[in-house]
Structure 1
């Protein structure tokens, strides 16, 4: 399995002094996802929880709906110059009842660690494809509970402590209990890992849950949350305009700029118990 962190020698300059010392960097490696032996996408990610990442990605893209839709997930042969398996190619075999992915769809799945899924169609794509009606989810989350989530998520970021270079996503109950937290160089990968964990645990749709992310709330993250049936998405930074539009369309509560004492609620204000 690939390393989560990588050590590098750095020259640190501070107050006119120079010090050479080792520094920990967040590992970033490509992961090629294959479905039934055919390449689907390549994403840059932090190694670890790759099977969860793959399940979450396929679920939020509407390829699968349950863990039973995947027969097997295995690493393919892929070696480095020393002949060691890089564990950077993962092949998932779909169950017989799952419709095959249409040829040519791969171009819609190109991802990087920074931008998420590119080339998405407009808001209609999620409204048509999502299997979960968030308007029927009557989850209530207290203001105090929401304000406590950034600290709880930060406490769960073990790799961030040593590198300072990873995003995080955490899945919480409406009472603020942490169910799962994952880190990655990409926000969307961290979310896919958490949703993949939930799917493999039989928890999707994620009724009564809050998805907390360490960065901003983009259109892609709102889309992924909607596809997994998440009623509340919270972020420590700002949402984009398209993310706010999509959250409102889906009946999702979207919270941004969530800090120790304040927050902005952009949609679904009725779920915030105050």
Structure 2
């Protein structure tokens, strides 16, 4: 379901070699406020591309620790409004109680300023380490990278979106999600692939690998993350601790392995 256009046309003035050119039409990616409500409780508002929002809600809820498993989500409704979109989720009572307790704790503490809402211990929250995992082949990674750009129709039109792809052990892309935000794209992918087998498969993203990207993958049981740009030091430390194979600067036949290199079958 797409509750609104993902891109719009605007007239722009191109400048080439310092000189104005003839005005032309350009396509711009949309980003709209998306509010997430859990059992009627308003929890978070993000700016996102208005597509695959049910997938986003599932992935966000799992990777942010609001629900413990997909079974804790009992229903999702996407409601367009004049000033944005509201995604209403019905979650298990135990998860609602945990969410209320978390919000009370946030209200009683001094915030660290990150996103204006969360404290330090809530940002770097613990995630259970991944169990023993098998190897991922370099050939599969290269195959997935080679197909990722062609699987980004919104980026091809606007040039303004990130993508997250799910590839099987052979490197065939099984699912791709796009969004103006790299975290949103990954949450959408996670939400769309919750029932996919994790063994031998991996995620590939068209962005850098921040700590949050690694954290989200580990929370979703994804044991390999391939990024086209660099990871951060905190992301590498979490990947090492959690057992995640982390590959950065993955472009064509070039890549750098930052964590759990023994799991790469080169």
TM-score (norm 2): 0.88
2:40 alignment partner, one of 37, 40, 43? 37
Give 1:32 shift: 0.4
Hey, what's the Cα distance between the residues in 1 that align with 2:120 and 2:168? 30
Hey, what's the Cα distance between the residues in 2 that align with 1:76 and 1:172? 31
2:130 alignment partner, one of 104, 127, 134? 134
Give 1:70 shift: 1.2
Alignment of 1:23-34 (within 5 A): 23-34=26-37
Q: Which residue of 2 aligns with 1:226?
A: 218
**8 Å CA contact retained: 1:216, 1:237:** yes
- Quickly say closer, same or farther: Cα 1:147–1:118, change in 2 above 3 A: farther
- Quickly say closer, same or farther: Cα 1:120–1:217, change in 2 above 3 A: farther
Q: Which residue of 2 aligns with 1:52?
A: 55
Matched positions, count: 255
- Quickly say closer, same or farther: Cα 1:182–1:210, change in 2 above 3 A: same
2:64 alignment partner, one of 61, 78, 82? 61
* Residue 179 of structure 2 corresponds to residue 179 of structure 1: no
Hey, what's the Cα distance between the residues in 2 that align with 1:36 and 1:104? 16
Alignment of 1:176-255 (within 5 A): 176-199=171-194, 202-203=195-196, 206-255=198-247
Hey, what's the Cα distance between the residues in 1 that align with 2:77 and 2:130? 34
**8 Å CA contact retained: 2:29, 2:49:** yes
Hey, what's the Cα distance between the residues in 1 that align with 2:242 and 2:202? 15
Q: Which residue of 1 aligns with 2:87?
A: 90
Bigger Cα displacement from structure 2, 9-18 vs 169-178: 9-18
Q: Which residue of 2 aligns with 1:83?
A: none
Hey, what's the Cα distance between the residues in 1 that align with 2:227 and 2:118? 21
Give 1:161 shift: 0.5
Hey, what's the Cα distance between the residues in 2 that align with 1:149 and 1:231? 16
- Quickly say closer, same or farther: Cα 1:207–1:123, change in 2 above 3 A: farther
3-state SS of 1:233 partner: strand
Give 1:143 shift: 1.5
Provide the alpha-carbon RMSD of the alignment.
2.4
Residues 91-143 of structure 1, C-alpha deviation per residue, up to 9 Å, x if partnerless?
A: 101134545212336788x997xxxx96553896223xx3xx424122x2222
Give 1:187 shift: 0.4
Runs of 5+ in structure 1 lacking a partner? 81-85
Hey, what's the Cα distance between the residues in 2 that align with 1:9 and 1:53? 31
**8 Å CA contact retained: 2:62, 2:220:** yes
3-state SS of 1:257 partner: strand
3-state SS of 2:21 partner: strand
Hey, what's the Cα distance between the residues in 1 that align with 2:78 and 2:123? 34
1:169 alignment partner, one of 164, 173, 189? 164
